[in-house]
Amino acid sequence: MNKRILRWIHVQFLLTILLFLVYILASLLGGYLGFWYFNSAIAYALVFANIFLFLVISTLFRARIEVLINRSFLLRIVDKQGPPLPIKRIHELASLEQYLRMQEFTVFAKQGTHTVFSRMKKDDIKKIFRGYILEVVVYIRPNMDEFYLDHVDECVQKLQDEAIKNKQKVEKILVTQIKKVTELDDDTKNKIKEIIFLRTQSGIISTINVGLHEASGKAILLYSDEYSPSMYYRYHIDQIKRMV
C-alpha cells in the first residue's frame, strides 16, 4: 500500500513541477505579447503585476512541493520501520534526568503532567554556515493520554525566542516525547506513530514519540535504520537509542 501511495506522490510531484514550468512559460509569453499589443505604460504595469503574481504562485508551489516531499519521508520510514528497542536506562524519570544532565540538558519546565528538558548545541553536522540544534526531551506522566501537549509547543517557542535574544540561529529542532504505556492497543500504537519530520528552507523539525512498555521491557517508536531522510534524522534516532 505504501509503495502505491509513494508512486502517487511521485506523480503529484512531477505534475506540480510541470504545472509550474507551464506557468513560467505562460508568464514569459504574456509579457512578450503585452509589449507587442499594448503601449509601454500598460505593458510595464502588466510586467510588475506578473512579477507580484509570480512571487505568490512560486510560494504556493514551493509549499506544495515541501508537503509532498515530507509525506514521502514519513511513508518511507513506515515502510522500513525498525524493531522496538530494549529499555536499558530510562525506567523512571529520575534515571532519565540523571542521564540528560550528564549530557548537558537542563530542566526547562516542570509540571504535574510532564517535564521538559532542553539543550542548545552547536551544529557539528553541517560543515559551513553552522547554526544551532535545539534538542528537547519531554517526559510525560503515565496518566496523560496524549503525547502532544500545548505547553510543550509554548516551551519550544520560548526556547527559540531565547535563542534569538542570544543571537543563536536555530535551524534544527529535535523533539523526543517519552511516556510509559501499559497496553499496546491500536489507539496507543497510532499515537506513538504520530511522528513529524519536516524539512523546509528554514530548517528541520523532527518529533519522535517513544512509548515505554514495561511489561515487555521495550521502547516502542516509529523509526527506521534502513532509511534516513536526513543526517539530522539519523542523529536524532541515535540520540534516542543511547537515551533509552
pLDDT tens for each residue of 20-53: 788 778 777 776 666 666 666 676 677 777 778 8
Last residue of a domain, one of 58, 79, 100: 79
**Same domain? 142 vs 159:** yes
- β-bridge pairing 170-180 and 203-213: parallel
- In the chain the first and final C-alpha atoms are separated, in Å, by 31
Domain count, the chain: 2
Chain Cα centroid distance, residue 148: 14
**Same domain? 49 vs 115:** no
pLDDT of residue 32: 64
The Cα diameter of the chain in Å comes to 79
**Same domain? 157 vs 48:** no
**Same domain? 105 vs 184:** yes
Last residue of a domain, one of 79, 113, 128: 79
**Same domain? 46 vs 163:** no
Length of the chain: 244
**Same domain? 125 vs 73:** no
Provide the domain limits for residue 14.
Answer: 2-79
To the nearest 10°, the Cα dihedral for 152, 153, 158, 164?
130
- Three cell numbers, residue 69: 516531499
Last residue of a domain, one of 79, 95, 127: 79
**Same domain? 212 vs 179:** yes
pLDDT of residue 106: 95
User: pTM for this structure?
Assistant: 0.82
pLDDT tens, residue order, the chain (244 aa): 466 766 766 777 678 778 878 877 877 777 666 666 666 667 667 777 777 888 888 888 877 877 777 778 888 898 889 999 999 888 888 899 999 999 999 999 998 899 999 999 998 887 777 889 999 999 999 888 889 989 999 999 999 999 999 999 999 999 999 999 988 888 899 999 999 898 877 789 999 999 999 889 999 999 999 999 999 999 999 999 999 9
